[in-house]
Every structure is written in structure tokens, then in C-alpha cells.
Chains A and B, each alone.
Chain A
Amino acid sequence: MKQGTLSSVQMATVVALRVLIGWHFLYEGLSKLTAPSWSAKGFLLQSRGPLAEVFRWMAADPEVLEIVNQLNMWGITLIGLGLILGCFTRLASAAGILVILLFYLCNPPFVGYFYSIPTEGSYLIVNKNLVELAALAVILVTGSGRAAGLDRIVHRLLGKRDRPSRGATSSGRA
């Protein structure tokens, strides 16, 4: 096995990770979409940390809030679909990272912050958001959609070249 290329088993675990995260996103998105009155308002309002003012500003303006809500619901749903199906995998994982980063920054589990929406675990700076974010980074750099996912078919049909940034595999070919 060349350095930088994953074995089938390694790739299979990455794909499994991708599908699980996708599942989580898809359900989060769909349950918000189907809830009649879901809003990010409460979550945004109790923001702490360096960006708290920004998040509270989003919650305070009804028009901004509506955009945030729509982007959130649809974004999460589409990211979930993309990850499960391996479709536009890199775009989906990059978007996922951005979304989770926002969640993390909105309510960071920093020392000395207490939240009225309780969490189900105990966190010190690192919480599950951050772990999921890191897992998405793995998905992003391994491009698993081209191994097992619709990206493989799209890629084949459109015959796009690999991007140079893909590292060892590409350079091995160069």
C-alpha cells in the first residue's frame, strides 16, 4: 500500500463514519424542518464567549433570525444527505465543519460558563460538537465519496481530474 492511500478496511471505516455523521445531520435537519415552530432563538440567546454579541444580534432581529433558521434547517438536512450518499462529499463536510464551528462558538463549554439548556454529558472545552467537527475534517481530507458514494459515479462520468491537493495519491500519479 502506498503511503496516503487507505486500505479497503480503512476506507470502509471512514465511509461508515461519514454515513453516521450524515445520519445525525439529516435527522437534526428534518426534525427541525417538521417541527412547526422550531427556532434557533433560544440557543442563540444564551450564547456565551467571544462571539456572544453576534449570536444575540442574530436572535434579536426577526428577519435575520428567519434567515438563520432557514439556513440552519435546510443546510443541516442537505449536509446530512450529502454525507450519507457520498455526494459532493467535500463540500458537505466543509459546510458541516462550518455549521458545527458556529454551534461550538455559540455555546462553547469554556470554564466558567453555565447554560440553561442542559447538556447530557460533562465537557471541559472539548464537547461532542468539537469531536464531530474533527471527524468531519477526516471526512473532508479522505474524499471518501469517490471511494464509496455518488461522487465516484459523478467523478467517473464527468471525468474530473483529481485535485492536486489530494497529496500522495495524486503526486504518485504525477
Chain B
Amino acid sequence: MAKDDEKDQDGGPGKGLGKKLDRRDVLLGLSTVPALGLFGQAWRKQRQYEQVQKEAASVDEAAAPTDVSEINVAILGSGAQGQVLLDSMLKIPGLRFRAVCDIWKEYNQKRAVRILKKYKFDVNGYEDYREMLDKEKDLDAVIIATPDFWHAPHTVDCLEAGLHVYCEKEMSNTLEGARSMVLAARKSGKLLQIGHQRRSHPRYLHAHDKLLQEAQILGRIVTVNGQWNRSVSPDLGWPARYAIPDARLRQYGFKSMAQYRNWRWYKGLGGGPIVDLGSHQIDIFNWFLGANPSHVMASGGLDYHDPATHEWYDTVMTVYEFETARGKARAYYQTQTTNGSLGYFENFMGDQGTLVISESEAANSGYVYRDPNAPAWDEWVQRGYITAPELQETVRTDEDAVLDVRESVSPDQHTIPVVLRDPYHQPHLQNFFDAIRGTATLNCPAEIGYETAVTVLKVNEAIEANERLSFRPEEFEV
């Protein structure tokens, strides 16, 4: 034995140079090769999981069908939001833009028409939407991005004219208005999509369908938290030579050019920040919790901005109570317009984990955190629903920033591997046009938009009443 050991370790004493290999040499020489084979197998398995995760991360980009039937589209309201929607729509195949309607002929309308002509669309510009509906007889669909108080009349009239309607949120600044829209959609049999675009966002769909419904990854959701914080920004102005004449402003419900430009801050025209911003995210509360709230209380006020030019509350904090299928849940939401730190996100906390999700690709875009007591999430990692747990590393921008940074460790952070590389509104618009062609169902039909409108508009009511208000289940129905 000892002799063998010796020979094994140095080739054996006294053996000649270049001695032939014996069987023992070959066997021992290759004895660790199987370890490499094992490594290869493990490596392959690991790579497969990584591949699955990578595939899950890439949004399904179905090849654009080449023979889609063309849809004739009109844009009603081509201000800032109308422009955002137009930019998205220019990337969607199969649309033929026919008309642009905007009361600011001198500016918004001109700009949109010019852009569309550049894209070789033969479009007509209108100031009055009724004239557009009278003259443009082959329209299929209209995209409405007017101030909130115009949504109901615009939508109802367009539906009655036989058009499918995509209407920006908030559905309406009044419940009566929102109700009339639901009824008009039902009566006309035309489609009405409300612009809560997160309902079509691939990351939100993934979180809802895969993580919450299928994997029930959070366990029972008990608390929810959301915010949209914005920095102070000056009131919107306008080039003096393009000002709308007073008579025309009054004809369309505005007192002045300043009010027209900043309509979101005025009661009777918009719904304030809780509606402009909160509505998108509170809509997600309802969707992800699978319920409408039972109660709401809220605190808010015009704490910062000038009351001469601002009527709505610039700061709102609100708490909803939900009776979900799995029990009670409470949801907090805040919006303010004085400090933009931490931006906007929604955060769902269950007894097994936490979901942080945002429409923003820039930050907080989508993470889940596993509670230490929760069952292992390996299966969801293997399926590519979430990434493997990551250590939280500091973003290093420059050397000095690194030196004194101490990060606490959260070893159970998983990323939701779904990113949207298109404009935020594109999937929701695509869903609308697909529904017109009969290849999809609407992700946010009128009824859902109405439920969200009821949920959100009650916040302003609660602030005014300064008390906890309850929702009756039938309030959410039309």
C-alpha cells in the first residue's frame, strides 16, 4: 500500500524516464474527469433556469400582423396627454388618423395635424367635436384626452355617433357623468376603454396573474401603501400670440386662458391631484385586492399653493378599508406636490411577502420580498416569475459616494423580471384596438372605470366631510 502511495505521488522511485503508462496511471490520471462531467450537468441545469428567467423577462412581442384591418381614428383633445397618446399610437400598426379636434386651434390642433401630416396621414382639424362627428363619416374610433369635465359629454356623443371610445381617466369629474358613460356604452354596443393604462402593463399583468393569483406569493394581503409625490412646478403658461379668444374659452367652459391651461387645479373642471395621480394607483388597489373598498377616510388641503390659482387640495392622505375574500385589508395613499422624492409606486404587504411595483421603469419598478417565515419561493424562481434573491447593492455613481455607504442587507429581494420598452400607454391602446378587431377583450371597460371613479371621487368628499365615509356595495354598480 505504502509503495503504491509513493508511486502514485511521484511516479515511483527509480522508475525510468518516459516510462510507459500503466492502467493504474490512466485510471488515476483521469479519475477527476467525472467531476467535470457533473459540473457540466449542474451548469446546464443552471443555464436552463437562467434562460427560462430571461424568456419570462422579455415581454412577448408578437410579430405585428401584416394584414390588420385599418381602423380610422380621430383624436379629441390634443394637449399634453393627447400628444402622449399620439406618440404611442404612431408605433401601433393598422391605424389611419383622420381627424384632430381641439379648441386650441392656434397651437395644440396645429401641432397634432402637422405631426400626422408628416406621417402622411390625411387629417382634418376641428374646433368643435360636433362638427367633426357630422363631417367625418367613416370614423371607427376616437381617442378622448380632453379635460375631465368634458369626458362625459364627449364620450356619450361619440358612442351615440357609433364610435368606439378610448377615454382618458378620470372617467369623469362627477359620478353622474361617469354613470352616463357606462349607460351610453351599453346602449350603443360600442367599446369604451378607460385610460387606466396600468391594467395593460405587462409587469402589472404579470404581478396580478402570476404572482398574486397563481402563486399567491404574498399570502394574505393585509396592508397596502401607495404614493405619488411630485416636486413643485410652476403653473402652465402659453405664448401670448397663440392665446385663445375669451369668447371661445367661455363657449367651452373656461373663464380664462390661465384656467384653461391649469384646469386640473379647478373644482368643476378636474378632480385635483388625488384624481389626476391617485386614480391610477388606487385603481390598482382595487384590482390587486380583488375588491372595492368598504370605507374611506382622508385628510387633505390646499396647504402650499396659491388659493387664487388653485382650488383643489395639493396634499392628500387617505386610508381605505377593504373586505377582501381573505379578510380585512387597509390601504394608505398619499399625494403631494411639494417634494418628488421616492416618486410613485404601490406596495402590497401580505403575511408571506411584500410587493413593490411601479409603472416607472426608472426606480422601484418591481420587487417582491419574501418574509422569512414564508415557504420557499424556489418554484417561482425556477419558472422565471421572479429572479433569484439578490443582495441589495448600492448604486455606485462615483468613488466618493461609495466610501461611507452602509446598506442593510435584505437577502430576500427578488426582482419581477418584466420590463416595458414601449411608451407606457402603448399596451393599453393596443388592447383597445385589438378589442375593436375582436382579438382581445378590454382590460379596463366602462364598468371598471366607474368602480375606480366611485372609489377615488369619494376621497374629496371625505376631506370635505372630515369624517370616515362608507361605501355601499351597490354604489359601484350602474
Contacts and interface: CB of A to CB of B under 8 A. Distances in A.
B407 to A, nearest CB: 5
A173 B5 contact: no
Q: Tell me the dominant secondary structure on chain A's binding face.
A: helix
Contact of B11 (A46, A120, A155): A155
A149 B11 CA distance: 12
A30 B43 contact: yes
A42 B21 CA distance: 49
Interface residues of B, number: 43
Interface string A134-159: 00000000010011111111011111
Contacts of B47: 34
Interface residues of A, number: 52
Nearest to A22: B35
Interface string B1-34: 1101110111101101111110001101111110
B325 to A, nearest CB: 38
B396 interface: yes
B370 to A, nearest CB: 16
Interface in B26-81: 26, 28-33, 35-36, 39, 43, 47
B396 A1 contact: no
Contacts of A162: 10-11
Contact of B2 (A2, A86, A150): A2
Contact of B17 (A19, A60, A161, A172): A161
A130 interface: no
Interface stretch (B288-296, B314-322, B398-406): B398-406
A33 B28 CA distance: 31
A15 interface: yes
Contacts of B35: 19, 22-23, 84
A173 B9 CA distance: 13
A148 B5 contact: no
A166 interface: yes
Contacts of A22: 35
Nearest to B410: A118
Contacts of B393: 42, 116-117
A24 to B, nearest CB: 10
B240 interface: no
Given A27-B43, A42-B393, A152 B25 contact: yes
Interface of A: 1-2, 5-8, 11, 15, 18-19, 22-23, 26-27, 30, 34, 41-42, 45-46, 56, 60, 81, 84-86, 114, 116-118, 120, 143, 146-153, 155-159, 161-162, 166, 169-170, 172-173
Given A45-B402, A116-B394, A152-B25, 9 more contacts: A1-B2, A1-B5, A41-B396, A116-B406, A116-B407, A156-B25, A156-B29, A162-B11, A173-B13
